[in-house]
Structures are given as C-alpha cells and as structure tokens.
Structure 1
Amino acid sequence: MIRPLADSRVAEILLVEDNEDDVFLTREAFDAARLRVNLHHVDNGEKCMQFLRRQGPYANAPTPDLILLDLHMPIMDGREVLAEIVKDDRLRHLPVVVLTTSYEAKDIEQMYSLRCNSYITKPIDFNNFVQAISQLAGYWLTLVVLPDSSRPVTPP
C-alpha cells in the first residue's frame, strides 16, 4: 500500500536557490516543521539538471520527491529548468513547486503553463516564511501520495 511520504520514509527534497540567506531560512523552516527530510541544495539551474540527471559530482544523487525551484538564478533560470524537466520523460513526473519572490502575473502564468505544481511567493517575515514552508511540507509530505522516487518511472 502506498502512503504519504511522512508515514514511510525520509523525503528527499531538492532546493534550487542561489540566495544563501533563503537557503538558510528554508533549512530553518524545515527544521521548525519537524518533518523528516533530506534537503539537498544547488545554486543554479545547470547544477539542478546535473543533479536530476545524476551527472558529474551528482552521480550518486537521490531522485528528489519534491523540487523547490527559484525563478531568478544565474546560468539557467527557473523557467529554463522547468522547461527541461517537462521535456524529459524520466523527470516530468517530479513535483515542482516554484518558491520565489516574484508576484508578477506573467511569471505565475508562465510557470503554470510550463506545468509547475504550485507557485508560492516567499514571505519576507521569518515567521510567515516558516509557516509557509510548514504548510507546503505538510501538504506535499503528509497529505499527497507521491510516486516512489527509488523506483524508475516508465514513460507511457
């Protein structure tokens, strides 16, 4: 029987974020949420794709259960990353939550048209940020049933 992740194992989460302050806040927020997660971090979209495809220094990377993706990054931005994920049959099943500072309607519409699963604007206040991460984690890790990331996905 498949159950929500929090009931069965530690969740593998990939945070794609170039701002070290936001990385620190996200780690603190997950700690405060008291959910079992391995939070992996890369600081640009190119490294994200290497992580997801297990290339270079990420040859032994786990398949993430959830990707938290910033929009504005160097080298390869969040839009380019999501477009690559959607094109790749081995990756397109991965849930992607955009976690960004942008409230721009065009960004929101574009990311949903590219198939993001959720779009969350980062609260500026630490307590609100912790609450947002806690709610996000609660939803994706305790309510939603996700595919087992340890098993290869067979494209239809």
Structure 2
Amino acid sequence: MNYDDIEILFAEDSMEDAMLTIRALNKSGFTNKLLHVKDGAEALDFIYCRGIYSERNPKAHPKLFLLDLKMPKMSGIQVLEKVKSDDNLKSIPVVILTSSQEDPDIDKCYSLGANSYIVKPVDSNNFFNSIKEIGMYWMILSQPAK
C-alpha cells in the first residue's frame, strides 16, 4: 500500500465498528483511500511517519481523520490534542466518531479543535446514513484549508 495516497485516516479499536464504518463508506460510493488503525498510538505513528510508516512522505496528510475516543494505548482525546496543537497538522479535519455522549468528552473535543463530534447510532440504518453524510460533507462539499 502506498501510504502517501491515504485520504481518510480512521482510528477505531472496535473491529465491528470499523467494519461497519468502512462498509457504509463503500456502499455510499466513496472510493477514497482509507487506512484503518487500531489505536491512537498507531494513528500518531502514521501522521508523524514513524515505525512501519517511516517511509511515508511527511507532507502527504490525510484529507479527513475519523477518530474514536475510547482506544487503547492512547485515547482519542490525546491524539486530537497532539494533532490540533501541531501547526503542520491542525488544518486536517478531525471528526470524532464515538459512542460517548458524555458532555465533558464533547466539550473537551470541541475545545481542542475537533471539527465535528458524532455519536455512533445504535441502529445500523441510522449508522449507515450518518457515515454517508460524514463522507459527503468532508470529502466532497467541504473545502480544505490552504
């Protein structure tokens, strides 16, 4: 895989949620190259070209970062804080995609610079529609920062 072509970085530790999300994007007609990582530490390895991603072009940033909050090794909040505090990365849209409806989590994410906070619907049809709309907005309609 050519990691420089990744358009969507997706950090999610639940394989079930990851497969549902990827399936929803595929069924919606999105052909954007997506990389699924299983925790926050691997997400930062990708972004900062470390470990297995060390050969990646450090200037080739994803167009969208889908980020779960509750992950092993490093939480989504820690990853969000790191990304949004880096001048080279802060323009990457970060969409929090999580099951947490806790007000402190929502407030913290927005205060750190999250672009959107989406609570994963329990119903699979609502989940599919939510993912389709996320993809439509962030990959087609929203204009990237220059």
Same fold (TM over 0.5): yes
Structure 2 gap segments, 5+ residues each: none
* Preserved contact between residue 6 and residue 35 of structure 2 (Cα < 8 Å): no
Displacement, 1:11? 7.0
Cα distance in structure 1, aligned partners of 2:125 and 2:66:
19
Map 1:27-106 onto structure 2 (within 5 A). Answer: 27-59=22-54, 60=56, 62-106=60-104
Displacement, 1:18? 0.3
Cα distance in structure 2, aligned partners of 1:31 and 1:141:
13
Q: RCO higher in 1 or 2 (8 Å CA, sep ≥ 6)? A: 1
Secondary structure of 2:26's partner?
helix
Instruction: Indicate the percent of aligned positions where both proteins have the same amino acid.
Output: 41
Q: Deviations over 1:5-45 (max 9, x none)?
A: xxxxx871010000000110011000111022111011111
Which letter does structure 1 place at the counterpart of 2:96? V
Which letter does structure 1 place at the counterpart of 2:64? L
Which residue of the other structure, out of 5, 15, 19, is the alignment partner of 1:20? 15
Displacement, 1:65? 0.4
Number of residue pairs aligned between Structure 1 and Structure 2: 139
- Per the normalisation by structure 2, the TM-score is 0.90
- Per the normalisation by structure 1, the TM-score is 0.84
CA RMSD of aligned residues (A): 1.6
Secondary structure of 1:37's partner?
coil
Structure 1 gap segments, 5+ residues each: 1-9, 149-156
* Preserved contact between residue 11 and residue 36 of structure 1 (Cα < 8 Å): no
Which letter does structure 2 place at the counterpart of 1:112? Y
